[in-house]
C-alpha cells in the first residue's frame, strides 16, 4: 500500500493499527471499568484542568497493579518491531531485489511483555559474508541523534536554558553518526555507485530504530552487526539554546571503541565488498582503525580517513604503531578541518612519526627549502602564519592527499605529485605547484597546493551538523566514478551547502547534484 501510494503520488496520510500484544493486554471490560472509576474519582476530588490527566493515569496504574504500564511498554516494542518489518519490506520493493538481511527485531520483546531475554548469539557470518561487491564501503559510526532546542514559553532576553532544572524544548530525533552521514551522502549524490555501511549497533530499542531508519533510507545494512548487552547503540544528545547554538552535548560512542569485534571480521567485510574506495572514520579504537586500513590495502582499495574530531583524529598516529610512507601510505585521502589537522600533526610529531628515516626521505624529496614565500603566495598570510600549509605538507608522507576544510573560507588541497603526474607539465597548473623534486626520488615529483574558495556564501544557516560528512561523501562518490580530487571539490562544496540549508544531517536534495557530479568526473578525466 505504501509503495502504491508513493508511486501514484498520493500525499494523504496512512495509519496502521497495531493492537497491544494479547499476553500483555488488560481485558477491555476491566479497563473500561477502571477508567470510569478513575475519572469519577478525579471529578469528586476536584482534579480538573491540567491536574486531571496526571491523576487519572496514576489511578489507572494503581488499580491495574501496573499492568497498564506493562501493556503500554509492550505496545511500544511491538510498534518498533512492526515498523522495522514494514520499512525493510518497503525497501526491498523499492530496490526490486531481495533483502540481504532478515528484518531486525527487538532483543527483549517476548510475546509482547517487557522481559529480559538471553543475549543474541552473534557469529562471524553476521559480517563479511554478503557476496555483493560495492563501489564504496564506509566503516564508521551510526547513531541515534536527539536534538533538544530550548523553547521558552514566555519571551525572554536570555536564550539559554536554565541549569539544574527541566526546560521546555522542541526535541527531534534523527539518525546520525559520521560513517552513516558519509555513506548516505554518497548514496544520495549518485545512483552510479553501490554504497555499503559497516558499523555496530546494540541489541536494544535504539538499535532497532536505527536499522529501520537505514532500511527506509535505502542504505545497504548487510554489514551492520547487532551486539548483545552490555553494548549500547551509539547515541548523541545535543542541547541547544533558543538561537540553535550548542550549549551542551553528550555522546555515547563506546560501542565502536570497545574492541568488541576481532579484526578478522573487518578483513572479511572488506574482502566481501571489494570496494574501489574504503572510508574509515576515527570513531573506531586505534587498533580497529589500523585493522581497517590493513584490510583495505589487502583488497587494493583506495582509502579515505575522516578524522571526526580533534580528540579522535589522533587514532591514525598511535605511539606503538610503525607507519608506512608514500608511495605505500596506509591512507590516500583525509579531510580534516584546521583543528583536526593540527591535532593529527601534533600526535604524529609527539609520537615520533615526523622523525623517522622513511618520513624524512619523502619530505626531503619535496624540495621545500625557503617555502614561506610560496605558502603566502598560495594560501595567504593568515593561514601561513597559522601553520596550516606546513602541517598539511608534513603529513603528506602518511596521507598523500589532504583536503583541509576552512569553513566559510573554502578548503585547501595539498597533495603529492608522482614523477609522471601530468600536472607537473601543464601550464594551467603551474601556479599551484608548490615545489618540484630535485633529488632524483623515484616516486616524488613535487607538491601541489591549491586554495578553493567557498562555493556559495550562506547567510541563513539552518544547521552545520553533517556538513563536513556530506562534503566527503559527495567527493568519494565522484572518486569512485573515476574523478580526481581537484575536479570534485567544487561539487562536493555544493553538496555541503545543501546540507547547511537543511535540517537533516545529509540534505535530501543531494540527488539534484547527480548531473553536476558526472560532469565534474568527466572534466577531471580530460
Distance CA 303, CA 44 (A): 71
Mean pLDDT to the nearest integer, 79-93: 74
* 217 or 19: which leads in pLDDT: 217
| Residue 154 confidence class, pLDDT cut points 50, 70, 90 | confident
Q: Three-class SS of residue 257?
A: helix
Share of the chain above pLDDT 90, in %: 62
Q: Which residues of 338-368 are buried (b: 16+ CB within 10 A; e: fewer)?
A: bebbbbbbbbbeebebbeeebbebbbebbbb
Radius of gyration of the chain (CA): 27
Residue 73 is predicted with a pLDDT of 78
The answer, yes or no, to whether residue 144 has pLDDT greater than 90, is yes
* 120 or 312: which leads in pLDDT: 312
Cell numbers for 322, please give them: 610503525
Length, in residues, of the chain: 526
The answer, yes or no, to whether residue 126 has pLDDT greater than 60, is no
Distance CA 486, CA 16 (A): 49
Residue 200 gets which letter from DSSP?
Answer: E
Q: Three-class SS of residue 223?
A: strand
Query: For residue 292, which phi and psi values (nearest 5 degrees)?
Result: -65, -45
Mean pLDDT to the nearest integer, 45-64: 83
Q: Locate all alpha helices (DSSP H) within 338-466, ordered by sequence.
A: 338-350, 357-366, 372-379, 381-386, 388-395
Which of 77, 72, 129 has the alpha carbon at shortest distance from 104?
77
Which of 78, 95, 80 has the alpha carbon at shortest distance from 23?
78
Which of 453, 449, 413, 456 has the alpha carbon at shortest distance from 431?
449
Average pLDDT, the chain: 87
Distance CA 221, CA 197 (A): 6
Residue 373 is predicted with a pLDDT of 92
Least confident of 100-114, 186-200, 233-247: 100-114
Residue 2 CA: distances (Å) to CA of 12, 87, 93, 211: 11, 10, 10, 19
The answer, yes or no, to whether residue 124 has pLDDT greater than 80, is no
Residue 521 is predicted with a pLDDT of 97
Distance CA 519, CA 158 (A): 49
Cell numbers for 137, please give them: 564501503
Dump pLDDT digits (tens) for 295-344.
999 999 999 999 999 999 999 999 989 999 999 999 999 999 999 999 99
Give all strands of the β-sheet with 169-176 in edge-to-edge order.
169-176, 143-150, 235-240, 246-252
Residue 165 gets which letter from DSSP?
Answer: S
Question: Which residues, including other chains, have CB under 8 Å from residue 161's CB and lie 6 or more apart?
Answer: 150, 167, 169, 239, 241, 247
| Residue 107 confidence class, pLDDT cut points 50, 70, 90 | very low
Contact status, residue 148 vs residue 168, Cβ threshold 8 Å: no
Cell numbers for 283, please give them: 570513531
Distance CA 505, CA 349 (A): 33
Cell numbers for 350, please give them: 609527539
The answer, yes or no, to whether residue 526 has pLDDT greater than 90, is no
The answer, yes or no, to whether residue 229 has pLDDT greater than 60, is yes
The answer, yes or no, to whether residue 247 has pLDDT greater than 80, is yes
Question: By CB neighbour count within 10 A (0-12 exposed, 13-18 middle, 19+ buried), where does 489 fall?
Answer: buried
Residue with cell 558499523: 199
The answer, yes or no, to whether residue 200 has pLDDT greater than 60, is yes
Residue 52 CA: distances (Å) to CA of 43, 55, 414: 8, 5, 66
Residue with cell 608511495: 327
Distance CA 479, CA 487 (A): 10
Question: Which residues, including other chains, have CB under 8 Å from residue 244's CB and lie 6 or more apart?
Answer: 149, 463
| Residue 101 confidence class, pLDDT cut points 50, 70, 90 | very low
Contact status, residue 307 vs residue 313, Cβ threshold 8 Å: yes
Dump pLDDT digits (tens) for 414-440.
999 999 999 999 999 999 999 999 988
Share of the chain above pLDDT 70, in %: 89
Distance CA 422, CA 470 (A): 29
Distance CA 348, CA 316 (A): 8
* 358 or 15: which leads in pLDDT: 358
Residue 10 is predicted with a pLDDT of 55
Amino acid at each position: 500500500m505504501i509503495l502504491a501510494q508513493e508511486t501514484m503520488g498520493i500525499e494523504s496520510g496512512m495509519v496502521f493499527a497495531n493492537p497491544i500484544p494479547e499476553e500483555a493486554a488488560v481485558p477491555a471490560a476491566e479497563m473500561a471499568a477502571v477508567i470510569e472509576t478513575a475519572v469519577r474519582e478525579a471529578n469528586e476530588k476536584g482534579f480538573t484542568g491540567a491536574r486531571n490527566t496526571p491523576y487519572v493515569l496514576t489511578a489507572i496504574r494503581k488499580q491495574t497493579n501496573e499492568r497498564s504500564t506493562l501493556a503500554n511498554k509492550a505496545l511500544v516494542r511491538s510498534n518498533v518491531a512492526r515498523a522495522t518489518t514494514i520499512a525493510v519490506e518497503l525497501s526491498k520493493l523499492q530496490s526490486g531485489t531481495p533483502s540481504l538481511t532478515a528484518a531486525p527485531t527487538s532483543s527483549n520483546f517476548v510475546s509482547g511483555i517487557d522481559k529480559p531475554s538471553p543475549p543474541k548469539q552473534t557469529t562471524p557470518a553476521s559480517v563479511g559474508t554478503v557476496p555483493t561487491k560495492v563501489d564504496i564501503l564506509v566503516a564508521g559510526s551510526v547513531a541515534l541523534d536527539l536534538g533538544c532546542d530550548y523553547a521558552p514559553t514566555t519571551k525572554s532576553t536570555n536564550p539559554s536554558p536554565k541549569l539544574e532544572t527541566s526546560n521546555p524544548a522542541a526535541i527531534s530525533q534523527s539518525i546520525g553518526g559520521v560513517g552513516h552521514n558519509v555513506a548516505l551522502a554518497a548514496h544520495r549524490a549518485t545512483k552510479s555507485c553501490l554504497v555499503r555501511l559497516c558499523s555496530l549497533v546494540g541489541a536494544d530499542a535504539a538499535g532497532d530504530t536505527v536499522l529501520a531508519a537505514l532500511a527506509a533510507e535505502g542504505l545497504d545494512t548487510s554489514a551492520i552487526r547487532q551486539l548483545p548487552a552490555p553494548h549500547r547503540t551509539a547515541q548523541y544528545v545535543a542541547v541547544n539554546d533558543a538561537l540553535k547554538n550548542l550549549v551542551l552535548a553528550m555522546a555515547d560512542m563506546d560501542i565502536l571503541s570497545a574492541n568488541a569485534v576481532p579484526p578478522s571480521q573487518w578483513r572479511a567485510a572488506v574482502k566481501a565488498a571489494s570496494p574501489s574506495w574504503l572510508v574509515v572514520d576515527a570513531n573506531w579504537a586505534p587498533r580497529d582503525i589500523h585493522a581497517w586500513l590493513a584490510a583495505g590495502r589487502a583488497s587494493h582499495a583506495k582509502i579515505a580517513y575522516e578524522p571526526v574530531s580533534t580528540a579522535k583524529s589522533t587514532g591514525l598516529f598511535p605511539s606503538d604503531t610503525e607507519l608506512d610512507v608514500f608511495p605505500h601510505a596506509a591512507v590516500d585521502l583525509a579531510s580534516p578541518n584546521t583543528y583536526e589537522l593540527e591535532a593529527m600533526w601534533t600526535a604524529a610529531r609527539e609520537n615520533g612519526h615526523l622523525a623517522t628515516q622513511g618520513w624524512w626521505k619523502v619530505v626531503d624529496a619535496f624540495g621545500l627549502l625557503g617555502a614561506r614565500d610560496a605558502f603566502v603566495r598560495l594560501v595567504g598570510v593568515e593561514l601561513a602564519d597559522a601553520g596550516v600549509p606546513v602541517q598539511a605538507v608534513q603529513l603528506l608522507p602518511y596521507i598523500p592527499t589532504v583536503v583541509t576544510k576552512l569553513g566559510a573560507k573554502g578548503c585547501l588541497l595539498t597533495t603529492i605529485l608522482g614523477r609522471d603526474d601530468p600536472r607537473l607539465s601543464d601550464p594551467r597548473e603551474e601556479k599551484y605547484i608548490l615545489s618540484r623534486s630535485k633529488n632524483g626520488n623515484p616516486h616524488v615529483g613535487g607538491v601541489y597546493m591549491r586554495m578553493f574558495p567557498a562555493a556559495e556564501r550562506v547567510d541563513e544557516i539552518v544547521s552545520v551538523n553533517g556538513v563536513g560528512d556530506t562534503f566527503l561523501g559527495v567527493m568519494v562518490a565522484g572518486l569512485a566514478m573515476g574523478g580526481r580530487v581537484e575536479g570534485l571539490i567544487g561539487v562536493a562544496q555544493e553538496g555541503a551547502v545543501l546540507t547547511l540549508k537543511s535540517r537533516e544531517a545529509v540534505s535530501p536534495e543531494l540527488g539534484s547534484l547527480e548531473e553536476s557530479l558526472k560532469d565534474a568526473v568527466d572534466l577531471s578525466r580530460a
